[in-house]
Amino acid sequence: MDLFTESIQGLTAVEKLRLVERIWDDLAAHEGPIPLPDWAVREATRRRAEMIADPQLGMTHAEMWARIDTSRNV
């Protein structure tokens, strides 16, 4: 394990979330698309084709939020 990974593991959950926010804000500050690896493009394409072939695989916004609410109450 490298020093960077060990440093992250030593952070509290709140500190980790702050780090993620800083990284996200830094990414958002740069104009232009963020390059995606080929595997991510292939997977997104595969999932899109799967959803087009069988729309029942998806869920409505209401179903999605109900699922999120249920998971928060566990």
Q: Tens of pLDDT along 34-62?
A: 899 999 999 999 999 999 999 999 899 99
Instruction: Report pTM.
Output: 0.52
Q: Which domain holds residue 13?
A: 1-32
- Same domain as 40, residue 13: no
pLDDT at 5: 87
SS3 category, 20 = helix
- Same domain as 67, residue 50: yes
The total number of structural domains in the chain stands at 2
- Same domain as 61, residue 45: yes
- Same domain as 23, residue 10: yes
Q: What is the pLDDT of residues 12-25, one digit of tens each?
A: 999 999 999 999 99
- Same domain as 73, residue 62: yes
pLDDT above 70 for 30: yes
- Same domain as 42, residue 26: no
Count of beta carbons in the 10 Å neighbourhood of residue 19: 13
